[in-house]
């Protein structure tokens, strides 16, 4: 957790909602994918997965003038944090999430936590619930995907961290010389959502966006405070089709709820009731 999410907002909508000063989604940046990203990076993607490039909001000084005031930017970053000291960018596959409880104690995350924080816009995220009663065709507990989103319909902003990694064998002006990557901060799942999975992403409300993005917020205790005391009850979740499990699947149909008649041994997040019979 969190390993898949939906992000369908247009660049114009993100620029407006996140009060972006500089939209840089069209810049050529290094990708770790062997094949072209589908859908293309920066377009609506209802099945955002690790190693893909995703729109991320961060605050940095303009590249042309490092003495100028920091600007809020919208950029494409690769999901899976690659620390500057990493020997191989493949390490990012193990760093798609950062636990909020240990964020400031881990060497891979501590520098980014106090200096390079970002917001990851999303419609909602997917999580797989392990059935307590139903088995799949192989005799293993059946897994049911859920889509979780804000009950008020507002855009989500995951708390994230970002890093820049340098490919030492390439020239500075080579577009592949630098890899910009990010991770999503997670926390213990709140009541109800913990019936789906024991972890969830940290979702920051709008009144914390500016402080989270502020480069001047460097005190570890202040960073911890921004991650603490998040209100509960902001989300609703429903079961969705199994198509989201395939990286080739995409489109708005992935977030649509499935009929209760299609469920097998699924626990209702709100009531704890088991929906559907036992599948063998």
Which tokens is 1 given?
A: 């957790």
CA atoms within 13 A on the CB side of 31: 15
Closest CA to 117 of 27, 249, 209, 240: 209
Distances from the Cα of 82 to the Cα of 2, 91, 132, 163, 277, angstroms:
17, 6, 36, 7, 44
Q: Taking the mean position of all CA atoms in its chain, how far away is CA 232?
A: 19
The answer to whether residues 234 and 125 touch, using CB atoms and an 8 Å cutoff, is no
Check if the beta carbon of residue 120 is closer than 8 Å to that of residue 182.
Answer: yes
Radius of gyration of the chain (CA): 19
Residue listed under structure tokens 């798609």: 96
Q: Catalytic residue, from 2, 118, 163, 264: name it.
A: 2
* 256 catalytic residue (yes or no): no
User: Which of 118, 127, 163, 264 is the catalytic position?
Assistant: 127
Residues 226 and 212 sit within 8 Å (Cβ to Cβ): yes
Q: Is 127 a catalytic residue?
A: yes
Residues forming the active site: 2, 127
């Amino acid at each position: 957790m969190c390993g898949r999410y939906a992000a369908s907002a247009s660049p114009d909508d993100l620029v407006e909602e996140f009060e972006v000063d500089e939209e840089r989604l069209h810049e050529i940046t290094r990708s770790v994918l062997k094949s072209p990203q589908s859908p293309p990076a920066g377009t609506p993607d209802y099945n955002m997965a690790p190693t893909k490039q995703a729109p991320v909001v961060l605050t940095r000084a303009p590249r042309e003038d490092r003495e100028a005031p920091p600007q809020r930017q919208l950029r494409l970053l690769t999901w899976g944090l690659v620390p500057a000291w990493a020997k191989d960018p493949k390490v990012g596959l193990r760093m798609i999430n950062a636990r909020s409880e240990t964020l400031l104690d881990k060497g891979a995350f501590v520098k980014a936590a106090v200096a390079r924080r970002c917001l990851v816009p999303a419609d909602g995220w997917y999580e797989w619930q392990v059935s307590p009663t139903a088995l799949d065709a192989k005799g293993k507990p059946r897994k049911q995907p859920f889509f979780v989103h804000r009950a008020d319909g507002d855009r989500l902003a995951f708390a994230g961290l970002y890093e820049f990694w340098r490919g030492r064998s390439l020239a500075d002006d080579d577009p592949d010389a630098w890899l910009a990557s990010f991770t999503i901060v997670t926390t213990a799942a709140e009541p109800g959502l913990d019936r789906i999975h024991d972890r969830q992403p940290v979702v920051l409300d709008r009144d914390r966006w500016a402080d989270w993005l502020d480069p001047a917020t460097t005190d570890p205790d202040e960073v911890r405070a921004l991650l603490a005391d998040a209100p509960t009850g902001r989300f609703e979740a429903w079961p969705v089709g199994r198509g989201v499990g395939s990286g080739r699947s995409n489109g708005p149909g992935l977030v649509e709820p499935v009929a209760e008649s299609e469920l097998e041994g699924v626990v209702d997040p709100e009531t704890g009731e088991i929906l559907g019979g036992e599948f063998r």
